[in-house]
Structure 1
Amino acid sequence: MTTLSLAVLDLAGTTVSDDGIVEDAFLHALSREGVHQGGPRHDAMMRYVRDTMGESKVSVFRHLFDGDEDTAQRANTAFEEAYAQMVASGRCSALPGARQAIESLRAHGCAVVLNTGFSPRTRDDLLASLGWSDLADAVLSPADAGRGRPYPDMVLTALLRTGAPSVDSVGVVGDTPYDMRAGRAAGAGLVAGVLTGGHSAQSLRAAGADQVLDSVAALPALIDATARAA
């Protein structure tokens, strides 16, 4: 493995604690479309939501509503509105050590790109609420890259945006199996899971994680150790 020159980091669950508001925003959107809690259809939909955390939200809605684009777009708009309101109410915060980890990586010559399954609007509202609008070298959503996770598009777009020399010099870090699958599909030199988002070490390793960290705060030390080994 070459020395890592780019870290591609997920937002919610990896660098940001969102107090469960992703699920709450999905609940709100489903309710707006007449799918209420307590029924088998609702339970099946929420299982799919949990299983696909990290994927583009509008893609999730397309699946939930059997490809009905109008319904998917309407539900996605309801999701974004609910999420923005919850962010504005202060329910999101940086995970301990996340900002310091990003600043440390950049100070030592490793570019950082934040990526997410949120739309650009939702992503930017979240970053603004944290004072993170200029924290990373770039920020990406599926709309910026073509496809969301588990496809490799956002990781490869991050490489092109930052001029990283090779996929082997890229590290991908996230809290969901979809993050791990995207990193593996991109050929990243390091794919690391974190345990701050509710998925187990076993599920992250099964999806392709090389390493599982307690939190993103441990990433600079891991990358430093990787550089020394290289």
Structure 2
Amino acid sequence: MVRELTSTTDHIGLVVLDMAGTTVADGGLVEQAFAVAAQQLGVEPGSADHETKLDYVRATMGESKISVFRHLFGDETLAQQANTAFEKAYGELVDAGRIAPIAGAREAIEELKSAGLTVVLTTGFARVTQDAILDALGWRDLVELTLCPADAGGRGRPYPDMVLSAFLRTGAVDGVRRIAVVGDTAYDMKSGVRAGAGVVAGVLTGAHDAAALTDAGATHVLGSVAELPAILRGVGA
């Protein structure tokens, strides 16, 4: 049975959740897909160049992937080629059954929805990859709205654009302080802070540790998204 949230949750009416690392466990697929894309652009596996680029990918988990490739390759044509190769490789890994929900994620989303909150899922991936993940998990109809960077002007995180797009497109709340933003990376935290969200919660199921999340502005650090309903029950107006 889905447990009802108490009225103190009325302070938060819109919850913007990251996907990979927050609600979805992908087991390092980003690094695997990057290796495929980098090799197609002539970056040899095991080389110093590969390791330097991989370190940057790890450090910027949560950022729009095309932005990462623009930084790494310094040329728009190469960045687009790398991004296309990355998305194709990641999609193939998803199709092979290499992802799963974070334990308790679906139940947390359903509990929030049953309490009257609007939940939006966001990602740094392209739409085609986001849709592949949603299809693989059977989550197409789980939430009212899903957003990728292209749906919000193209910049992605750490900009606040996807959070603000969720605010504008759902009309779920009357002010940004009534938004909760949840993610596993410093970039998620920065986007939430820049959007003015009242709750910016980091989870420890993905890329970054508690120190990185806190340094980036997290108001809460959770073991996983499964803890989110309980946290929001304690958030007053």
Normalising to structure 1: TM-score of the pair? 0.96
Offset at 1:2? Answer: 6.9
Question: Does 2:186 correspond to 1:197?
Answer: no
Task: Return the alpha-carbon distance in structure 1 between the equivalents of residues 61 and 10 of structure 2.
Answer: 30
Per the alignment, residue 6 of structure 2 pairs with none
RMSD: 1.1
Task: Return the alpha-carbon distance in structure 1 between the equivalents of residues 221 and 112 of structure 2.
Answer: 18
Question: Does 2:77 correspond to 1:102?
Answer: no
Per the alignment, residue 44 of structure 1 pairs with 52
Task: Return the alpha-carbon distance in structure 1 between the equivalents of residues 109 and 10 of structure 2.
Answer: 20
One-letter amino acid of the structure 2 residue matched with residue 71 of structure 1: L
Deviations 1:133-168 (A, max 9, x none): 111110000000012000000000000111121100
Question: Does 2:214 correspond to 1:208?
Answer: no
- 1:70 is matched with which residue: 65, 77, 85? 77
The runs of 5 or more residues in structure 2 that have no matched partner are 1-8
Normalising to structure 2: TM-score of the pair? 0.94
CA contact (8 A) 1:12 1:18 kept: yes
Task: Return the alpha-carbon distance in structure 2 between the equivalents of residues 119 and 15 of structure 1.
Answer: 17
Per the alignment, residue 232 of structure 2 pairs with 223
Per the alignment, residue 56 of structure 1 pairs with 64
Task: Return the alpha-carbon distance in structure 1 between the equivalents of residues 199 and 10 of structure 2.
Answer: 10
Question: Does 2:52 correspond to 1:32?
Answer: no
Per the alignment, residue 185 of structure 1 pairs with 194
Offset at 1:198? Answer: 3.5
Aligned length: 227
* Percentage of matched positions with identical amino acids: 57
Question: Does 2:139 correspond to 1:145?
Answer: no
Per the alignment, residue 117 of structure 1 pairs with 124
